[in-house]
């Protein structure tokens, strides 16, 4: 248990019948009249839904002990993903629903953070960007420029993104894991 005075970004709260919510941002407000309160923006851990919630200052809230562990993606077992804890070398199986969009950027050996709660995985967090090789894209044509225009390209993970016209098959590119945007070439 904690009070609303102890809130900080990233803290996971157990509210409304055991649902898990992460504190995205918070603000202590002390109006001229009336009691102080805490205005928060909370994100549902499983669905990703974001809501605004106000608490009275000093109110007790239940916190959840979420364990974020550094793990390495080992391999795919059918539809499930197998991750290895980089400290204990224990392997855990994570369902595709929990992995979500992170699956578009996962290759064997990639590092990720897996949030665990009461023995089960809640979500998988990747670094903000990853470096992947273009598996296939249409060849460029004469007159392609570095500005303007894009074409589809399939990454080595099988996921398709939009890249500038001058990018060719076999090049390594940096991709934003939050949006799927092309961020630039990687010089080998």
**12-21 tens-digit pLDDT:** 888 877 788 8
Percentage of the chain exceeding pLDDT 90: 32
Q: Residue 4 phi/psi, 5° resolution?
A: -65, -20
Q: Write out the DSSP string of 28-66.
A: EE--SSS--EEEEEEEETTT--EEEEEEETT-EEEE---
Degrees, nearest 5: CA angle 147-178-43: 145
The rounded distance, in Å, linking the Cα atoms of 87 and 121 is: 17
* Chosen CATH of 67-125 out of 1.10.3470.10, 2.40.50.140, 1.10.510.10, 1.10.8.100: 2.40.50.140
DSSP 83-123: EEETTT--EEEE-HHHHGGGGGG--TT-EEEEEEETTEEEE
Q: Which of 171, 56, 161 is nearest to 105 (CA)?
A: 161
Query: Is 129-185 assigned to CATH 2.40.50.140?
Result: yes
CATH class of the region 2-63 = mainly beta
Q: pLDDT for 38-74, tens place per residue?
A: 999 998 887 778 899 999 888 898 888 888 889 999 9
pTM score of the predicted model: 0.70
For the chain, which residues make up each domain, given as ranges? 2-63, 67-125, 129-185
pLDDT at 142: 56
Confidence of residue 144 (pLDDT cuts 50, 70, 90): low
Please tell me if the domain spanning 67-125 has the same topology as the one spanning 129-185: yes
């Amino acid at each position: 248990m904690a009070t609303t005075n102890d809130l900080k970004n990233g803290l996971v709260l157990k509210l409304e019948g055991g649902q898990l919510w992460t504190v995205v941002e918070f603000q202590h407000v002390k109006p001229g009249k009336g009691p102080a309160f805490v205005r928060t923006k909370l994100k549902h851990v499983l669905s990703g839904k974001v809501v605004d919630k106000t608490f009275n200052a000093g109110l007790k809230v239940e916190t959840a002990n979420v364990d974020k562990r550094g793990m390495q993606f080992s391999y795919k077992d059918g539809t499930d993903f197998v991750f290895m804890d980089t400290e204990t070398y224990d392997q855990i199986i994570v369902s595709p629903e929990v992995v979500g969009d992170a699956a578009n950027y996962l290759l064997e050996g990639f590092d990720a953070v897996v949030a665990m709660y009461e023995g089960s995985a809640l979500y998988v967090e990747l670094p903000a960007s990853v470096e992947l090789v273009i598996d296939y894209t249409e060849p460029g044509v004469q007159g392609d420029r570095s500005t303007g225009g894009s074409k589809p390209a399939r990454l080595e993970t099988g996921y398709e993104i939009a890249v500038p016209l001058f990018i060719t098959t076999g090049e390594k590119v940096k991709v934003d894991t939050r949006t799927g945007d092309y961020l630039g070439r990687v010089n080998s």
